[in-house]
Amino acid sequence: MKDIFALRLYRRVARLGGFSGAARECELSQSQASRIIADLESDLGTRLLSRGARGVVPTAAISTNDIGNTWRFTRIASTRSRSARKARADHRSASHLLEQMT
């Protein structure tokens, strides 16, 4: 559910060209909206928005045509997020084993 909310927020930010208006529509603060999008970008491992003084625009990572297909994007986000979490868990397990061996 968190991923779906983040994707819906992303669609609003991209459509409105900024975090403030999208945050108002979702009853969030601007900083909360920005943090949610930053977390989504981190989970996906790519920048989704180019931030500038005059607002934001979607990057080439996802076109505005793809934004409408939330289900497809959610599957991609979930898969990448699971892969990233598994890689971090595997790394922690390997580090822990190495510590025990020394």
- Beta bridge partners of residue 57, listed in sequence order: 50
pTM of the model: 0.60
What single letter denotes the amino acid at residue 79? Answer: T
Q: Please tell me what DSSP assigns to residue 75.
A: H
At 48, list the tokens: 């989704």
- Beta bridge partners of residue 90, listed in sequence order: none
SS3 56: strand
What single letter denotes the amino acid at residue 83? Answer: S
Q: Report all structural domains of the chain as residue ranges with CATH numbers, in order of start.
A: 2-101 (1.10.10.10)
Residue-wise pLDDT for 20-72, tens only, equals: 999 999 999 999 999 999 998 888 888 889 998 888 988 877 655 555 565 56
- The pLDDT score that the predictor gives to residue 82 is 66
- The pLDDT score that the predictor gives to residue 66 is 56
